[in-house]
Amino acid sequence: MKIAVIQGPNLNMLGVREQHIYGPMTLDQIHEQMKASAEQNQVELEFFQSNLEGEIVDRIQECLGTVDGILINPAAFSHTSIAIKDAISAVNLPTVEVHISNIYKREEYRQKSITAGASTGVITGFGPFGYHLGLISLTQIIAEVKAVEAQKQAAQQA
């Protein structure tokens, strides 16, 4: 099973930016922890971070036919980007959106996620642990999708 991990703008600044909100862990440290738990479950992760909306759209499009699901923190683009939402809808893969902070507890402009409307589910407010929760949920969802597909194939061949 292969999962694309897509990180939006300013998440490369984790560990430096607003530590009272996002904590002290760097993005590399978060990714190392994710890798360790993914390996235990035979899950392969592909990491990507960009500060540019179009690059994130391109990366999501590349997911079609190459990975089984997407774990994404679109960061500030969550609140603004119809283009990223459309890309998630277009590839139609199981997708979990993660936010480190609880966006519902923050400024009003952060309380709506446009991109979440295209995602399978959202995890928000659990700190970096949210990525771990996202990975567990996404792995489960993908396993269920694969099981349904296998059942359909078996029924067609019968």
The CA angle 22-28-31, to the nearest 5 degrees, is 90
Q: Which of 149, 87, 98 is nearest to 121 (CA)?
A: 98
Answer yes or no: 104 catalytic: no
Q: What is the 3-state secondary structure (H, E, C) of 30-44?
A: HHHHHHHHHHHCCCE
Interface segment toward ligand DQA; rule CB under 6 A; list 29-37, 56-64, 75-83, 146-154: 75-83
Binding ligand DQA (rule: CB under 6 A), the pick from 96, 99, 120, 138 is: 99
Binding ligand DQA (rule: CB under 6 A), the pick from 101, 114, 121, 129 is: 101
By three-state DSSP, how is residue 155 classified?
helix
Is there a contact between 71 and 88 (Cβ–Cβ < 8 Å)?
no
Is 103 a binder of ligand DQA (CB under 6 A)?
Answer: yes
The least distance separating ligand DQA from the CB of residue 77, rounded to whole angstroms, comes to 8
- Residues near ligand DQA (CB under 6 A) are 10, 73, 75-76, 78, 99-101, 103, 110
